[in-house]
A and B are shown apart, each in its own frame.
Chain A
Amino acid sequence: MKTAEGCEQGAERRRVTYSLFSANLCRRLAVAVRGVRADEAVPSCQPATRRLQVAGTGHLLAAVLCLLLLSSAQAVTFSASLDRNAIRVGEQAVLTLRFDGGQPSGVPRLPDVPNLQIQYAGQSQQISINNGQRTAGLLLNYLVTPAAAGDYTIPAFQVPIVGGLLPSQPLALKVHPATAKLPDTEAYRQFTFVKLRAGKTNAFVGEPFTLEVRLYFNAAGEIQMPSLRGDGFTLAPFQHQQGQEQVGNAIYRVIVFRTVATPVKAGKLALGPAQCAFNLHLRVGGTEVFDLFNRGVRAQAVTILSEPLVIDVQPLPTEGRPADFNGAIGRFGMSASVAPTDVAVGAPVTVRVQISGRGGMDGLQMPPLNLGEAFKSYPPSATTDMPDPLAMAGTKKFEQVVQPQSADVRELPAFSFSFFDPDARAYRTLRQPATPLRVRAAAASAAPTVVMTTTNAATAAAATELVHIKPHLGMVVAADASVLRQPAWWAVTGGPFALWLALLARRKQAEKLANNPRLRRRREVEKLVNAGLAELRQQAAAAQAEPFFANLFRLLQEQLGERLDLPASAITEEVLDERLKGIGASAELCASLHALFQACNAARYAPVRETSELAKLAEQFANAVAELRKLEVAE
């Protein structure tokens, strides 16, 4: 058994296995009886894939004795089984003796089979809770090892219980040579197998029934959808779900693939075998606990087959078949409604039909309405509400829009839905009576324009009638109404952007000035000199020689001080030769500046000058300033 302490909970059956409990009890009893250490008494029960061979009748006796303590008054049942019926020489099969409702009163004596060694391998106990009822089972495991190839039969044998003996059934085991190639189904039966089950084995043509492919395995991956041979059947896509299930004394992982098979012809039809392909994970080294990366696991690609089924398919009876029968098989109920029933000619009327029940829901069709020329009809639409993933039960809703073509129409005709009930083996017909209608002429004044402008999204989503026309034309939309062509959009977006850019540039400039005193001084001097030059020209025009020269001298000092990075008060004529040539001033510029300085000095002694002379000096100063500003100075 793979997980002796495992616990499985299923919808139908709950089982709890307590082998550890029994093993511990056995160990204690063995210590008491034989006087050996507890660790040596009885090995713990191990998973089936790692069974320990426990030889010796002493241990077996101790186990049987301890289990006697757990005996109950229930009737004891006994069964013997092999985990597989075909192996190769060198492999081992597992023989399991199962006792339910009690224990053997003594050690079972297994028959001797030539060339077949049967060795006790341990025991475990299972406690199953089925619908609240607790049952206990004892499992005794034996390893069966063949010495030669051949067909073997383990004959029936009897096991002692309190008050008598219980017989077993003969068990067949086919042993192939060690080099023989067994079909995957046989070779890996110990680890995996597949079962095919049908919901019913007697069906009618066209009657859908469920089909299950149950794949059992211990460890596997890359599992593909099963393939299934089913000539004479149509098969729906597989749905699958995963779980665990106990088979014999082992717990398997199981994937249940479900589908719906529908026979399309009569007769005894073979269904299957189901074929499953996947990678079986076989442990070839290491232990599960320490092998985190599964390095000791080998992936073996296997393809296994199930046993096939035979389905007896009968044709649908022709007797009593309704004229409107269109192939629906199952058990159904029908409800229908018609709305609106007061309409104008040409206005839509919606017929809703709801069919609920169990059977082939996919094949259900809208019952024919037989409207004739009095109505114009549109194709029906259908929606399904099926909690069953296999679509074998649920509700199918149909809607069909019809338009009365004249005011003479008085009713929507009656209609019916027929189906075949396979349980009752008879046809059934559900009828919907005629629905009265009031149809008005289209031009009648009694049909005012209904303007439904207050409907909301919810009613729109569930709209069942055409909303009437709108009375107002509304705003005409320009054909080239692209937003990018609208100045307002650009104003909304670009205006703030331009404003932000301007303010950002202003801040950056202020920061630049704040971090550069020379630049700031240059800007200030530029303003000062520009203003001073204008003043000079006015003073020249007014022949104000004294303030003219004072102003000119001050401006020369300010401009040269800024260029030479010296205080304005430190600028004299001597500085020109020392510093100005060092920053690349031309000889003409230096001479011009010398002349201006000398004119200023001379004016102190002979201040009276003519207007033209002052104007000429002002222009000379302006030219000199222009040349000075061209000089490259470090900032």
Chain B
Amino acid sequence: MNGSIMRSVVATFRLRVSHTQPKGCDYGKPALALLAVLLFSCSRLMAEAASTDFEAANKLFEQGKFADAAAAYERLLTNGPTAALHFNLGNARFKSGQPGRAIFHFHRALALAPRDPDARGNLQFARRSLGVTVDEPLARHLLRHHSPAEWAWLAGAGLGAWFVLLALGEALPAKRAAFAWLTKTAGVMVVISAALLAAAHWDRNSARQAVVIVPEAPVRPGPLPESKAAFSLRDGAEVVVLDAKDDWLQVRDTGHRAGWVKQDALWQLP
């Protein structure tokens, strides 16, 4: 977010300079250098301020003021998410007696830092405290060992390496046969990494997940308030979103029961 802000600031600044400078004078380069220094200083100051706020929120947590700590963490989220921020927010929500929101933030922390054992452990702990055990298939566990961006970098780097080897083969035709095996192996690796990238993308987008954040969410057969509740979901229940209509979501729980829930009773994972 900071990068995009800086880019837009620089573009605006260049426009202003080009409109205000007299003909024959070029203030562009020195002005841009000055702006860069200013922006760098501002970003450092903003980072330090965010870090100070984060420590203040941690202090609130340590003092047992979990609700205040959660509110402070939420304010920090407006500057941009970090894995640690979601992790601490999950802890604060859990200790505030809001397991659903805690599970949501542990999921967000894992999305940003998929190999963080602390986030995974706290997610499992929150689930177990609700009497829920979620058995994650091995394939999904492996796919979620990396974030989609990491899979994309892996596939992109593999593709780049493969093209470099192909280019080397073109540039050095006499030695092409010597490293043909390496080129073929790299090609196979590219195909595999592309397949893994596609699988990871499919895994993330095939089924949208959501977490119940209210103490009890009635689930109805139809998306109408007049529809009689078939069953209810407890705070922290994780569901798969099947469909949406107006402010209703059709969900399926771990017991494969499906029904419609008011949208504001759930937080959907991105």
Contacts and interface: CB of A to CB of B under 8 A. Distances in A.
- A is bound by B: yes
A484 B152 CA distance: 9
B58 to A, nearest CB: 6
B156 interface: yes
Contacts of A69: none
A452 B115 CA distance: 14
A399 B84 contact: no
B54 interface: yes
B83 interface: yes
Contacts of B248: none
Interface stretch (A175-183, A378-386, A612-620): A378-386
A482 B2 CA distance: 15
Interface stretch (A15-23, A92-100, A157-165, A460-468): A460-468
Interface in A231-247: none
B1 interface: yes
Contacts of B4: 478, 480
B233 interface: no
A449 B132 contact: no
Counting chain B CB atoms within 10 Å of each CB, which of A480, A493, A507 scores highest?
A493
A346 B64 contact: yes
Contact of A475 (B82, B117, B132, B156): B82
A57 interface: no
A268 interface: no
A492 interface: yes
B3 interface: yes
Given A376-B97, A466-B122, A468-B91, A401 B64 contact: no
Contact of B83 (A447, A474, A495, A499): A474
Contacts of B2: 476, 478
A472 B118 CA distance: 14
A131 interface: no
B153 A459 contact: no
A463 to B, nearest CB: 3
Contacts of A464: 125
Interface string B70-100: 0000001001111111011001101101010
B221 interface: no
B12 to A, nearest CB: 19
Given A460-B124, A477-B81, A506 B170 contact: yes
Given A460-B117, A481-B149, A476 B58 contact: no
Contacts of A493: 156-157, 159-160, 163
B156 A483 contact: yes
B254 interface: no
A515 interface: no
B120 A473 contact: no
Contact of A496 (B79, B118, B131, B160): B160
A501 to B, nearest CB: 9
A497 B163 contact: yes
Nearest to B141: A457
A504 B124 contact: no
Interface string A429-468: 0000000000001110001010011011101110111111
Contact of B95 (A346, A479, A492, A497): A346
Nearest to B99: A378
B133 A379 contact: no
Contacts of A468: 91
A482 B204 CA distance: 14
Nearest to B2: A476
A412 to B, nearest CB: 16
B91 A507 contact: no
B269 interface: no
A500 B118 contact: no
Contacts of A483: 148-149, 152-153, 156
A460 B118 contact: yes
B82 A477 contact: yes
Interface string B134-172: 000000000000001100110011011111101100110
B32 interface: no
Contacts of B133: 381, 383
A380 B130 CA distance: 7
Given A470-B87, A473-B51, A489-B152, A459 B170 contact: no
B63 A443 contact: yes
Contacts of A476: 1-2, 50, 79-82
A263 B121 CA distance: 43
Contact of B118 (A442, A453, A478, A507): A453
Given A460-B120, A463-B124, A483-B149, A478 B88 contact: no
A500 B82 contact: no
Residue in B50, B62, B79, B121 whose Cβ sees the most chain A Cβ within 10 Å:
B121
Nearest to B59: A449
B104 interface: no
Chain A interface mostly: loop
A73 interface: no
B82 A499 contact: no
A153 B172 CA distance: 102
Nearest to B126: A466
A380 B127 CA distance: 11
A348 interface: yes
A482 B4 CA distance: 13
Contacts of B3: 478
Interface centre among B64, B164, B234 (most CB of A within 10 A): B64
A504 B166 CA distance: 9
B260 interface: no
Nearest to A347: B95
Given A492-B160, A497-B163, A457 B117 contact: yes
B121 A467 contact: yes
A394 B159 CA distance: 53
Contacts of B161: 496
Given A378-B131, A401-B128, A496-B164, A469 B88 contact: yes
B255 interface: no
A445 B83 CA distance: 27
B130 A378 contact: yes
A469 B87 contact: yes
B128 A399 contact: yes
A517 B51 CA distance: 72
A496 B62 contact: no
Contact of B153 (A347, A489, A503): A489
Contacts of B163: 493, 496-497, 499-500
A471 interface: yes
Interface in B103-126: 112, 115, 117-118, 120-122, 124-126
B64 A442 contact: yes
Given A477-B81, A483-B152, A500-B170, A348 B129 contact: yes
A17 B84 CA distance: 74
B188 to A, nearest CB: 17
A345 interface: yes
Contact of B88 (A345, A348, A470, A496): A470
A492 B156 contact: yes
Given A378-B131, A455-B118, A476-B79, A442 B88 contact: no
A459 B117 contact: yes
Contacts of B170: 500, 503-504, 506-507
Contact of B63 (A348, A378, A442, A463): A442
Between B117, B132, B162, the greatest number of chain A beta carbons within 10 A of the residue's beta carbon is seen for B117
Interface in A347-393: 347-348, 376, 378-383
Interface in B1-53: 1-4, 50-51
18 contacts: A346-B66, A378-B129, A379-B234, A383-B133, A401-B129, A453-B118, A456-B117, A467-B125, A469-B58, A470-B84, A473-B50, A473-B84, A478-B2, A482-B149, A483-B153, A484-B152, A489-B153, A492-B156
Of all A-B residue pairs in the complex, the 10 with the closest CB atoms, nearest first, are: A442-B64, A463-B121, A496-B163, A503-B170, A460-B121, A460-B117, A476-B80, A483-B152, A401-B129, A381-B131
Given A463-B124, A469-B88, A500-B170, 13 more contacts: A401-B125, A442-B62, A459-B121, A460-B118, A463-B121, A469-B58, A476-B1, A477-B82, A481-B149, A489-B152, A493-B159, A496-B167, A507-B170
